[in-house]
Each structure stands twice: as structure tokens, then as C-alpha cells.
């Protein structure tokens, strides 16, 4: 069975290149008339049926029964359908690749939209430290530095709230404490 499929595959290649003899084509037509063919060749079933019943140049005497495709004139219609079939076959990897890319992109978008879950690396990206000429932007390594900075920020924010509340009260002299010149 495997050997037969290999032969058929070879014939299909020759057929699509327009190099098959009439006897080889009949072999293909007989094969594609059967119900059980590999799924990857299903798309060729219609094309084979077309050539078997459509042009029939072998029977019409255009080509000798056992002539090779080399010296004989090519059949334009078969070439068009063969090209279409060949294009479809060649498109399969491209279609598969684009499906994979679409799935990957959708997964990336989905993961990006999810909350950071408290991971330091995600919401603190872009942080860095410069100390004694050494630059470090590895967020995982800067965990302690980030904690210190965020604690400092909380203290400053509390102070800011207090000062803004005082400013909003509009009490005289609240904008500057003792010793500060205006």
C-alpha cells in the first residue's frame, strides 16, 4: 500500500508538471475514482475527474498513447488546473503558518491584557539604578531598590496630601513654613 502510494505520488508530480503519458494518466484517473484516497489528495479528485471526462485528448488521438510529455505539445487547460492544484498545495504550508501566527498573536494579546499578578518584572519594567558608575536595569535584581523607592513615594505622597489640604484651607501663611522667604 505504501509502495503504491509512493508511485501515485510520483505520478501526481509528473501529472502536475504535464509530463505524464496517457497510460500514466489513466492509472491516475482509475486511482482517483476509488473512494479511499489519502485526505491530502482529496483536493485533486475533482481535477482528475475533469481531465478524465473533459478533454480526453488521449482518446481523441492528439497524443500517442504512450508518448511522454517531453516532445508533445502541452495542453493549456490541464496546465491551468494543474497550476491551480499546485498553488493550492503550495499554499497549505503558508496557510498553516499564518494560522499558527494568528494563534500566537491572540495568545500574546490575551496574556498581555491579564493583570501582572504582583510579578515585579511586569509592572516595574523600565526601572534602573546607577551607582558608582554601574548601571543596572534588571528588575528582578532591583527588587529591594524598588521597595525602597515605593516606600519613599508613599511617605512623600502622605506629606503632599497634607500640604495640599493646608493650601486648600486658604489659611494665611500655610503655604510656607517658618523661615522660608516668599
Binding site for another protein (CB under 8 A): 112-113, 115-116, 122-133, 135, 142, 145-146, 148-150, 152-153, 156-157, 159-160, 163-164, 166-167, 175-180
Distance separating alpha carbons of residues 182 and 169, to the nearest angstrom = 19
Closest approach of another protein to the CB of residue 9, in Å: 50
Nearer to another protein, 62 or 166 (CB): 166
Nearer to another protein, 33 or 159 (CB): 159
* Closest CA relative to residue 25, chosen from 63, 71, 1: 63
Spell 114-141 as b/e; 16+ CB within 10 A means b. eeeeeebeeebeeeeeeeeeeeeeebee
Closest approach of another protein to the CB of residue 147, in Å: 9
Q: At what angle do helices 45-53 and 76-113 cross, to 10 degrees?
A: 170
Nearer to another protein, 60 or 130 (CB): 130
Closest approach of another protein to the CB of residue 106, in Å: 18
Closest approach of another protein to the CB of residue 142, in Å: 8
> DSSP code of 176?
S
Distance separating alpha carbons of residues 8 and 12, to the nearest angstrom = 6
Closest approach of another protein to the CB of residue 138, in Å: 13
Closest approach of another protein to the CB of residue 6, in Å: 53
Distance separating alpha carbons of residues 78 and 22, to the nearest angstrom = 13
Nearer to another protein, 57 or 146 (CB): 146
Nearer to another protein, 39 or 131 (CB): 131
Nearer to another protein, 90 or 181 (CB): 181
Q: Nearest 5°: CA angle at 166, between 165 and 169?
A: 90
Amino acid at each position: 500500500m505504501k509502495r503504491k502510494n509512493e508511485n501515485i505520488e510520483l505520478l501526481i508530480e509528473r501529472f502536475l508538471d504535464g509530463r505524464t503519458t496517457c497510460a500514466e494518466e489513466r492509472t491516475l484517473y482509475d486511482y482517483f475514482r476509488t473512494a479511499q484516497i489519502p485526505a491530502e489528495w482529496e483536493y485533486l479528485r475533482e481535477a482528475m475527474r475533469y481531465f478524465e471526462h473533459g478533454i480526453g485528448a488521449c482518446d481523441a488521438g492528439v497524443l500517442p498513447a504512450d508518448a511522454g510529455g517531453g516532445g508533445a505539445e502541452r495542453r493549456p487547460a490541464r496546465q491551468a488546473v494543474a497550476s491551480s492544484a499546485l498553488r493550492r498545495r503550495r499554499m497549505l504550508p503558508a496557510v498553516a503558518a499564518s494560522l499558527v501566527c494568528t494563534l500566537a498573536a491572540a495568545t500574546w494579546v490575551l496574556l498581555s491584557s491579564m493583570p501582572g499578578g504582583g510579578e515585579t518584572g511586569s509592572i516595574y519594567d523600565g526601572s534602573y539604578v546607577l551607582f558608582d558608575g554601574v548601571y543596572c536595569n534588571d528588575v528582578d535584581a532591583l527588587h529591594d531598590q524598588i521597595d525602597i523607592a515605593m516606600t519613599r513615594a508613599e511617605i512623600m505622597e502622605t506629606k503632599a496630601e497634607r500640604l495640599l489640604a493646608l493650601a486648600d484651607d486658604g489659611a494665611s501663611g500655610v503655604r510656607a513654613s517658618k523661615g522660608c522667604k516668599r
